[in-house]
Amino acid sequence: MNDVILRARGVRKRFGATEVLKGIDLDVRSGEVLCVIGPSGSGKSTLLRCFNHLEQIDAGRVWMDGELIGYEQHGPSGHVLRERRPRDIRRQRERIGMVFQRFHLFPHRTAVQNVMEGPVAVKGLSRVQAEKQARELLDHVGLADRADHYPGQLSGGQQQRVAIARALAMEPALMLFDEPTSALDPELVGEVLGVMRDLARSGMTMVVVTHEMGFAREVADRVLFMDQGAVVEAGTPELLFTDPRHERTRAFLSTVL
């Protein structure tokens, strides 16, 4: 078995009175593609956000490459509140690329400028180096001929592929995808899933929240079903899709398959 790259234990998160994550345990191994499925509101996005310092967890632990990235902020007997220094947070975030439902590209920058931005600003690459790398990445996602276009001149699928290239430009050890095709017109979904499939085949470690069951079935090494803030079950796509153990999984699958 490959090394565990991301480990979560007992992760809890509440918003006000609502407990959104109720003790999540999760291991992501190097090179693995883990697809997370589950009904809307089950906590999938929140879970990903906890891996990237976009949310602070209330209890539990998250490690990336063996280093704590999230930990409980307070305990029953008033544990010391510890905050990561901004520098540590930046360093840890650099290891994780994230692609959202919405692309969040800078509208007044071309595709290649969007992809270059992080490596220049954060990694200190020269503009020449960064542009060369950005053009290669855009080529990989099938957009060599769109590199100098502005987001407004690109389709949703093309913009999402730019967003993927932009995340990859930081050379992350782990890529998180949060419903990357949900905002796309149906005819544009395939091109984005194709890029993600290629990325998976190249050995990238990926956690993908998706409603695309065909993709999960074909590309995932493991599928994890979440409901109401908990992991109900996880297993190979064959097992989870054809022989789910839990009634809740069966009920969910019957609505989406």
Provide the minimum distance between the beta carbon of 176 and Mg ion in the complex, in angstroms, as a whole number: 12
Which residues are CB-neighbours of 81 under 8 A, at least 6 positions away? Answer: 73, 74
- From the list Mg ion, ligand ADP, none, pick the one residue 41 interacts with, judged by a Cβ distance below 5 to 8 Å according to partner type: ligand ADP
Provide the minimum distance between the beta carbon of 3 and ligand ADP in the complex, in angstroms, as a whole number: 28
Provide the minimum distance between the beta carbon of 189 and Mg ion in the complex, in angstroms, as a whole number: 17
The number of residues in the chain equals 257
Name 29's bridge partners: 4
Name 190's bridge partners: none
Restricted to residues 5-44, the positions that interact with ligand ADP (CB under 6 A) are 15, 20, 38, 40-44
Smaller CB separation from Mg ion, 20 or 138: 20
- From the list Mg ion, ligand ADP, none, pick the one residue 20 interacts with, judged by a Cβ distance below 5 to 8 Å according to partner type: ligand ADP
Cα angle value 117/119/122 (rounded, 5°) = 95
Decide if 151 contacts 159 (C-beta within 8 A).
yes
Cα angle value 135/116/86 (rounded, 5°) = 150
- C-alpha–C-alpha distance, residues 227 and 233, integer Å: 9
Which helix (H) or strand (E) segment holds residue 129: the answer is helix 127-140
- C-alpha–C-alpha distance, residues 68 and 50, integer Å: 12
Decide if 160 contacts 151 (C-beta within 8 A).
no
- From the list Mg ion, ligand ADP, none, pick the one residue 208 interacts with, judged by a Cβ distance below 5 to 8 Å according to partner type: none
Smaller CB separation from ligand ADP, 46 or 159: 46
Smaller CB separation from Mg ion, 45 or 181: 45
Q: Does 46 bind ligand ADP (CB under 6 A)?
A: yes
Would you give the binding string for Mg ion spanning residues 29-48, x where CB under 5 A is met? ---------------xx---
The site for Mg ion (CB under 5 A) is made up of 44-45
The site for ligand ADP (CB under 6 A) is made up of 15, 20, 38, 40-46
